[in-house]
Amino acid sequence: MSIIAVEGVTKHYALGTQTVEALRGITFEIQKGEFIAIMGPSGSGKSTLMNIIGCLDSPTHGTYFLNNQEVSTLEGDELAGIRNKEIGFVFQNFHLLARNTALDNVMLPLKYAGVEKAEQLARAKAALSQVGLEDRMDHQPSELSGGQQQRVAIARALVNNPSILFADEPTGNLDSQTGHDVMQLFHNLHAAGQTIILITHENEVAEEAQRTIFIKDGLIESDSTKEVA
């Protein structure tokens, strides 16, 4: 079942008197439960594409269906509503609130969604347990290692039970062993049925995914799937 369907998507930006074509006609589908890496050099359009399929931005032309709902025509609050319901984000820099505990950081999306307090606590604790941090719930980010902070960020992304988990360079600020541990967590989540889209410029990280879409100059240069042993 297709969870994402993108057809003929373009994105143009005005830069002074020039028009920059960041995306020049992108078409692809992602099935529910896939683990995909989107790769490309700096300036390739991969971040623009992530912003569109992550419901952070709208395309100039083309269509985008998320869970069979067309979202390419939505803007502002409507787009934010879809994003909060359907998508969890994990970033390279964690984006945790420094003065909040791990538990409070994970509860934030539920507060924004108007979830009742007791349910916020229960779901946040369950998400932290899912990433192996049940014994660090009351710690602030400064009391956690980089890998633990990224696990808190992953728990926060999962707490709303999103259809899709986006991970933008999730190991970029981690040492190799910690990065490996975080990627193993993504594998565990994928094995449990989570759809994951990984944005990276590193071949070694992209190799962890089942399928790799390579973007260059605003176009899909290749779309390859690994043979399953």
Hey, what amino acid is at 87?
Answer: I
Q: Cα separation of 189 and 164, whole Å?
A: 11
How confident is the model at residue 202, as a pLDDT?
86
Given the DSSP bridges, would you call strands 35-39 and 211-216 parallel, antiparallel or unpaired?
parallel
Q: Cα separation of 152 and 96, whole Å?
A: 8
From first to last of the 229 residues of the chain, give the pLDDT tens digit.
799 999 999 999 888 899 999 999 999 999 999 999 999 988 899 989 999 999 999 999 999 999 999 999 888 888 888 888 899 999 888 899 999 999 999 999 998 888 999 999 999 999 999 999 999 999 999 999 999 999 999 999 999 999 999 999 898 888 889 889 999 999 999 999 999 999 998 888 899 999 999 999 999 999 999 875 5
Return the structure tokens found at 61: 């032309």
How confident is the model at residue 121, as a pLDDT?
95
Domains of the chain by range and CATH?
Answer: 34-57+75-225 (3.40.50.300)
Q: Cα separation of 85 and 95, whole Å?
A: 19
Return the structure tokens found at 70: 């067309």
How confident is the model at residue 172, as a pLDDT?
87
Q: Cα separation of 51 and 208, whole Å?
A: 22
Return the structure tokens found at 34: 């896939």
Q: Work out the number of other CB atoms within 10 angstroms of the CB of residue 188.
A: 13
Q: What is the three-class DSSP state of 195? A: strand
Given the DSSP bridges, would you call strands 18-31 and 2-15 parallel, antiparallel or unpaired?
antiparallel
